[in-house]
Amino acid sequence: MNEKAREYTIDFTNVKYYLEMHAVIRDSLGFPAYYGCNWDACWDCLTERANQPIHVRIVGLETIRQEKFDGEAEVFLDILKKFKHYRNDKYADHIQIEIINTKTGKMTAVE
């Protein structure tokens, strides 16, 4: 990776509702205002950046792992994993995704 990676932090720590979760994703990743606040729109916006080096830090994922979010954290993580390996790993070296647990401070890479 020759270019410096664009760095993004998605902080779910204070999220209470589904649409708020998507607003955090939209704002944190600089998605356009017309972002549809759904997983298909998230995928579309992410893949527009596949050829750019990016580093995404996710903070407070445990907040949206609560029962009221009904598995949305895992859906989001699946999308990020798929994105990292988009186009048969053509851009995998350009995409770094980390989860930071707010309770333990532990950092985990998304592969």
Q: Please name the residues in contact with 61: beta carbons below 8 A apart, sequence gap of 6 or more.
A: 12, 73, 77, 99, 101
Based on its alpha-carbon atoms, the radius of gyration of the chain, rounded to whole angstroms, reads 13
Q: pLDDT tens digit string along 21-37?
A: 999 999 999 999 999 99
Is residue 1 predicted with pLDDT exceeding 60?
Answer: no
Is residue 20 predicted with pLDDT exceeding 90?
Answer: yes
Query: Could you give the angle at which helices 72-84 and 18-29 cross, rounded to 10 degrees?
Result: 30
Q: What six digits make up the tokens of 74?
A: 């895992």
Quote the pTM value: 0.88
Cα 80 from Cα 90, distance rounded (Å):
15
Name the CATH superfamily for 6-109.
Answer: Barstar-like (3.30.370.10)
Q: What is the mean pLDDT of the chain?
A: 90
Q: What are the structural domain ranges in the chain?
A: 6-109
